[in-house]
Amino acid sequence: MMRKWVVAAVAAFWASFTLAQDLNYGEGEFVANFDIDSAHTTDGTNYKISASGEAGPYGRVWLSYEFTDKLGMGDAGEFTGFAWTQNGEEFAKATLQGVYRRQGAIFQMYSLDMVSDGVVNIVSGEADFVGKTMTFKVSPLK
């Protein structure tokens, strides 16, 4: 009898993973290219940058990020940020939140961004601080 309960519990546990909803990258994927305009730190641990560039349907975008390392990993951590955009007479704002990890000289970034138009964007890309560039693949989350 006990064995049946264990089997049932294991089956229920695995079913929750197999039935879990995957992230669904929506249509309308685009590439966003930015130039890093400035970077600074006040404590040698947390870093702030600003960047600007073009981001597909959003037009001209200005970004600000704060990179932290709350777990003390040294080559990985988290970031938060804010963006605002202008495309002709259309404006939008966004909050940016995600994680990063350093791979050699490049920082890989992964983010979920909430836009004031109601869209949630999945973002992945890289920051090259020496080259002063950031490049991202962006897709609306369905």
9 pLDDT higher than 50:
yes
Minimum mean pLDDT range among 18-32, 68-82, 87-101 = 18-32
For residue 25, give both structure tokens. Answer: 């990258």
- Answer yes or no: is pLDDT of 135 > 60: yes
pLDDT band at 26 (very low <50, low <70, confident <90, very high): confident
- pLDDT for the residue 48: 96
Query: What is the mean predicted confidence (pLDDT) over 39-45?
Result: 90
Give tens-digit pLDDT for 50-82: 999 999 999 999 999 999 999 999 999 999 999
What is the value of pTM for the model shown? 0.81
CATH number at residue 122: 2.40.350
Residue 12 included in any domain: no
For 28-49, b/e burial (b = at least 16 CB within 10 A) is eeeebebebeeeeeeeeeebeb
Instruction: Evaluate whether residue 61 is within a structural domain.
Output: yes
Number of domains making up the chain: 1
Q: State the average pLDDT over residues 115-136.
A: 96
pLDDT, average across residues 10-24: 53
| Tokens coding 74 | 């040294």
Instruction: List the domain range (segments joined by +) for residue 96.
Output: 24-140
Q: Is residue 75 part of a domain?
A: yes
5 in any annotated domain: no
Evaluate whether residue 133 is within a structural domain: yes
Is residue 137 within 8 Å of residue 113, measured between CB atoms?
Answer: no
Average of per-residue pLDDT across 23-34: 86
Domain membership of residue 18 (yes or no) is no
Is the residue at 7 inside a domain?
no
Confidence of residue 96 (pLDDT cuts 50, 70, 90): very high
The per-residue pLDDT of the chain, averaged, comes to: 88
Residue 55 forms part of a structural domain: yes
Nearest Cα neighbor of 108 from 139, 140, 79 is 79
